Amino acid sequence: MSLKVLVVNSGSSSIKFELYQMPEEKVEARGLLQRIGEPGSELKCRIGNEELVVARSVPDHAVGLKLIMDTLTDSANGGLKDISEIGAVGHRVVHGGSAFSETVLIDDEVLKAIEERSALAPLHNPPNLLGIEVARQLLPNVPQVAVFDTAFHQTMPDYAYAYAIPWELNEQDHIRRYGFHGTSHRYVAARAARLLGRLPSETNLITCHLGNGCSITAIRRGASVDTSMGLTPLEGLVMGTRSGDIDPALFTHLARTKGLGVKEIDTLLNKKSGLLGLSGLSNDVRTLLAASKEGHGGAVRALAIYAYRIKKYIGAYTAALGTVHALVFTAGVGENSPAIRERSLDQMAPLGYRLDKAKNEQAVRREMDIAEASSPIRILVIPTNEELLIAQDTYRLAAKA
């Protein structure tokens, strides 16, 4: 059955979308609407071979999604003839808590569950939910599907997801590690198994999603058994503006010595820390690499801490898995920065990670095995494609529906 699937990623002030022809997996349109509810709203999209920029006031998500639909169905743009051609809509939802371990068709019960978990992701779930509600209004008879960032990690055992706090806080308040970037980790894990010629159920992997947000996942027999992000996306690796792992007592220390409030500390750790805070220059790895070559002390320091944290997690997850068939680098930095990959694997050959430096330099925006031929563990660069995975899941469920 052929079906056009619209993939929607609704953020707090943006909507990212892609339109697929399934099951051919052909991208017919993609775009990004930015600055919703702010001055200077702008829709940039590609429909077929046409590049479009629409500058228009967009006060809310309802107007924004309607603008996207109107643009897709504008005959002058060579897109859809009518909105009714869209056969299903797939939505990225950041937090499903422990309620969802797989992709689901959206109904009123699912909407309620997403809303109930908004306290766990207050910056993400409300706009995700709003995007779903608007899409259901515009396409009332079309199957809508939710793909959760947290779902892939629901296979973690309790000894990996639990914090060492009173157990009733886990049971009653759902305070535990959930993990994120699950759609990306799931996509590259499936692709890695295929490249290795192995069944996912027979494959152990460590997948490194390195972008402005970073996470690393240990995968045993195709299932996530540990991941670096926790209750929120703040835990784990050093990121663009997020601190990653810290001593929890830092929070009370800052409150006591600096007089900072909860919101101020939250902003400090999420938006002013990471590479930006360490370097005092930028959260962009490319900028920092260039600056470090010129001797910028903050850039040198930030990159050293960033790569060291990645190396520590790779080592820890190697121990947790015992046997690792491949290490995978993905996302903006992971796919495009040979320098970060090399730094992260420095002196890791004794653990089985033998990087071929020449191949590593060639692996930019391309799928490639960058390990030495003799390396016991393969090292793969695999561009992620979360939108495609959402389209695949949506098509599968919509076809059944």
pLDDT tens for 116-156 read 888 777 777 888 888 898 899 889 999 999 999 999 999 99
The pLDDT of residue 332 is 94
In the chain, the largest separation of any two C-alpha atoms, in whole Å, equals 63
The pLDDT mean for the chain works out to 93
pLDDT tens for 296-317 read 999 999 999 999 999 999 999 9
Q: Is the pLDDT of residue 94 over 90?
A: no
The domains found in the chain, sorted by start residue, are 3-148 (3.30.420.40), 198-386 (3.30.420.40)
Instruction: List active site positions.
Output: 149
Q: Is the pLDDT of residue 79 over 90?
A: no
What separation in angstroms does the CA of 148 have from each of 107, 171, 229, 382?
15, 21, 15, 21
Q: Helix or strand or coil: residue 50?
A: strand
The pLDDT of residue 39 is 87
CB of 135 closer than 8 Å to CB of 91: yes
The pTM of this model reads 0.92
CB of 336 closer than 8 Å to CB of 367: no
